[in-house]
Structure 1
Amino acid sequence: MLQSMTGFGSARLDADQYCISVEIRSLNSKSMDLSVRTPKVLSDKEYEIRNMVQKALVRGKVSVNVELTKNKTQKARNTVNKELLKAYYTDLSEVADQLRADKGELFRLALHMPEVLQQEEQDEETAEAEWSLVQPLLQEALQSINIFRADEGKALTAEIMSYIDRIRILLSEIEKHDPVRMEQIRTRIRGHLAEISTSEHFDQNRFEQEMIYYMEKLDIAEEKVRLVNHLHYFTETVYLPEPTGKKLGFISQEIGREINTIGSKANDATIQHHVVEMKEELEKIKEQINNIL
C-alpha cells in the first residue's frame, strides 16, 4: 500500500520533574532531508536521533523538534563566583564615587555581570536519565507520523488507481476503434492503388513492399499490449508493502512512452483524442507520485 511523504506526529510527557514534547513534520523530497532541534542537554544524542528518524521515515524533508523543560526543583542551580562579584562591585563603586552617582543598584548590576552566576554542569547520569525519557517519546512520535502517512497513502492510492482505471477505459475505446481505423486505411490504399495501377511505370513488387512497410508503421498492436502490461505492473507495484514511489515513477515513464507512440502511429483523429485524455490522466498520476514514499 502506498505511503505519503507528508505527515505530522507528536508525543508529550507532563511529569512532576519534566515537561517534554517531541514534534515531527515531513514533506515530500527526493531524498532524506533531515533537520533536528534539541535542547543543549541532548546535543550529543543528535546522531542517535537522526538514525532513528532515517530508519523509520526513509525519505522526505523532515524536521524534528524536541523540547525539554524542567520544573523548579529540577532546574540547574546557579553558583556565585564570589571573588569576581567583589571585583565587579569594587570597580563599580569606585566609578560611582568619582561620578557622585547613587550606589543603590550596584550590587544587582555586579551580580548580573558576565560569569558571576555560573550554572552547574549536569552530570552524565542525569543526562542519560533525561534521554531515557525522550527516546520513547521520539519513538511514539515516529509511529504517529507513520500512521498519518499511511492514512494519506490510502487516499492517494484510491486517487491514483482511479486515473489508471481511466487510462484502461480509454485504451479499450482505442481497441474498439482500431479495426475501423485499419479498414479506413485499407480503403484509402485501395483507392490509390486503383489510380496508379494503370500507370505504365507501376511496379507491383515495389508497391507491395512499400505497403507492407506503411502498414507496419501504422500498426499499434504491440504498443497496446505493452501498455496493458505496464498498467498491470503499475497496479501490482502500488500494493507492495515496501516503499515504491521511485519505482512507480519509472513505470509511469514507460506508460507515457507507449501512449505517445500510439498517438504518433495511429494517424487517426478519434484515437488522438483518446491519447490526449490518457496523457492528462498520466500527468495527474505523476503529480501524485511526487508525494509518495
Structure 2
Amino acid sequence: MIRSMTGYGKGEALSEQGRCTVEIRSVNHRYGEISVRMPRAFMALENEVKKALACTLKRGKIDAYVQWEEAGGCAALPAADLVLARGYAELLRSLSQELGLKEEPSLGLILAQKGVLGEAVAGQPDPDQCLAQLMSAVQGAVAAMDAMRRREGDALLCDLASRRGQVAQWVQRISERAPQVVDEYRQKLKIRLDQLLEGTEMDAARLAQEVALMADRCDVTEELVRLSSHFTQFDDALAADEPVGRKLDFLMQEMNREINTIGSKSSDAEVTSLVIRIKAEMEKMREQVQNVE
C-alpha cells in the first residue's frame, strides 16, 4: 500500500513533571530530510527523535516540533542578571554625583535597562528522566501522520491505477493498429506506382523491399513489449507495502521514453493521436508519483 509524502501528526504524553507535545509536518522531497525543533533542555535527545522518525517516515521533508509545558501551569519567571544590574546601579549613582543630584537610582530604572531582565524561562525537566515520555509523544505523532499518509496514499493509488488502465487501453490500440499501418502503406505505394508506371509491369520484388524497409522503420514491437513489462512492474510497485516513490518515478521515465520512441517511428495519424493522449495522461501520472513516499 503506497503512502503520500504529505501529512501531519500530533502526539502528547503526560507525566507528573508536565506535558510533552510533538507535532510533525511533511511535504514532498526527493530524499528523506528530517528537521527537529525542541526546547534547549531536550537538545541532547535530538538524534533519538530523528531515529524514531526515520524508522517509519522514509522519504519527504519532515519538520518536527517538540513543546514542553510544566505541570501545574507554573508561570514562567524572567531571569535577572545581577552583575549587570549592579553595574547599572553604580553607573547611575556616579552620574547622580557628577550632576549634583541627590536621588538614588530607583529599582524600576535599573530594571528598565537593557539586559537586566532576560526572557521568561519556564521550568525545564531533566531530559534523561523524560526520554520515555518524549518518545511516547513522538510515536503518537508518527502514528497519526502515518495514518494520514496512508489515507492520501489510497487516493493516489486509485488515481494512478485508473490512469494506468487508460494508458494501457490506448497502448493496446496502438498494438492493434501497427500491423494495419504496414498493409495500408503497401496498398498506397502500389496504387501510386501503378499511376506512375502507367501500365508498365511493376517489379514485385522491389515493391516488397520498399514495404519491408518501411515496416522495419515503423516497427514498435520492442517498445510495446517493454511497455508491457513496465506496466507489470508499475502494478507490483503499487501493491507493495514499502516506499516505492523512486521506483515509480523511474518507471514513469522509462514508459515515457518508450512512448516517445513509438511516436517518432510512426507516421500514422491515428497512432500519433494516441501517442499524444498517452503522453498527456502519463504527465498527470508523473505529477501524482511525485507525491508518493
Question: TM-score under structure 1 normalisation?
Answer: 0.83
Separation of aligned partners in 2, 1:189 and 1:118: 89
Contact 1:3 1:153 in 2 (8 A): yes
Quote the sequence identity (%). 28
Shift of 1:129: 1.7
Aligned with 1:44: secondary structure?
Answer: helix
Shift of 1:175: 3.3
The AA in structure 1 aligned to 2:52 is M
The AA in structure 2 aligned to 1:270 is E
Q: In the superposition, relative to structure 1, how do residues 146 and 22 fare at CA in structure 2: closer, same or farther (>3 Å)?
A: same
Separation of aligned partners in 2, 1:241 and 1:117: 51
Q: How does 1:20-59 map to 2 (within 5 A)?
A: 20-59=20-59
Q: In the superposition, relative to structure 1, how do residues 92 and 288 fare at CA in structure 2: closer, same or farther (>3 Å)?
A: same
Task: Specify the alignment match of 1:187 in structure 2.
Answer: 187
Shift of 1:203: 7.1
Task: Specify the alignment match of 1:169 in structure 2.
Answer: 169
Aligned with 1:30: secondary structure?
Answer: coil
Identify which range, 178-187 or 248-257, moves more after superposition.
178-187
Shift of 1:212: 1.9
The AA in structure 2 aligned to 1:20 is C
The AA in structure 1 aligned to 2:31 is S
Contact 2:11 2:137 in 1 (8 A): yes
Task: Specify the alignment match of 2:247 in structure 1.
Answer: 247
Aligned with 2:21: secondary structure?
Answer: strand
Task: Specify the alignment match of 2:291 in structure 1.
Answer: 291
The AA in structure 2 aligned to 1:256 is N
Q: How does 1:206-221 map to 2 (within 5 A)?
A: 208-221=208-221
Separation of aligned partners in 2, 1:87 and 1:266: 87
Separation of aligned partners in 2, 1:91 and 1:4: 62
Shift of 1:33: 2.4
Contact 2:82 2:116 in 1 (8 A): no
Task: Specify the alignment match of 1:263 in structure 2.
Answer: 263
* CA deviation string 1:142-170 (max 9, x = no partner): 12111111111110010011110110111
Shift of 1:30: 0.7
Shift of 1:93: 3.9
Q: How does 1:24-173 map to 2 (within 5 A)?
A: 24-71=24-71, 89-96=89-96, 98-99=98-99, 100=101, 102-103=103-104, 106-110=106-110, 126-173=126-173
Shift of 1:174: 2.4
Q: In the superposition, relative to structure 1, how do residues 249 and 175 fare at CA in structure 2: closer, same or farther (>3 Å)?
A: same
Q: In the superposition, relative to structure 1, how do residues 79 and 289 fare at CA in structure 2: closer, same or farther (>3 Å)?
A: closer
Q: In the superposition, relative to structure 1, how do residues 153 and 79 fare at CA in structure 2: closer, same or farther (>3 Å)?
A: closer
* CA deviation string 1:210-260 (max 9, x = no partner): 432221112223322222222122111111111111111111112112212
Aligned with 2:127: secondary structure?
Answer: helix
Q: In the superposition, relative to structure 1, how do residues 193 and 144 fare at CA in structure 2: closer, same or farther (>3 Å)?
A: same
Contact 1:111 1:117 in 2 (8 A): no
Shift of 1:51: 2.1
Aligned with 2:277: secondary structure?
Answer: helix
Shift of 1:204: 6.5
Let me know the Cα RMSD of the aligned residues.
3.5
Contact 2:3 2:153 in 1 (8 A): yes
Separation of aligned partners in 1, 2:184 and 2:58: 54
* CA deviation string 1:241-285 (max 9, x = no partner): 111111111111121122122222221111111111111110011
Separation of aligned partners in 1, 2:9 and 2:85: 47
Shift of 1:11: 1.1
Structure 1: tracts of 5 or more residues without a match: none
Contact 1:27 1:61 in 2 (8 A): yes
Separation of aligned partners in 1, 2:66 and 2:230: 45
The AA in structure 2 aligned to 1:48 is E
Contact 1:81 1:118 in 2 (8 A): no
* CA deviation string 1:58-109 (max 9, x = no partner): 1111111111122468678889887876665455345345543654x72344
Shift of 1:53: 2.0
* CA deviation string 1:116-138 (max 9, x = no partner): 89999x99x82312333212101
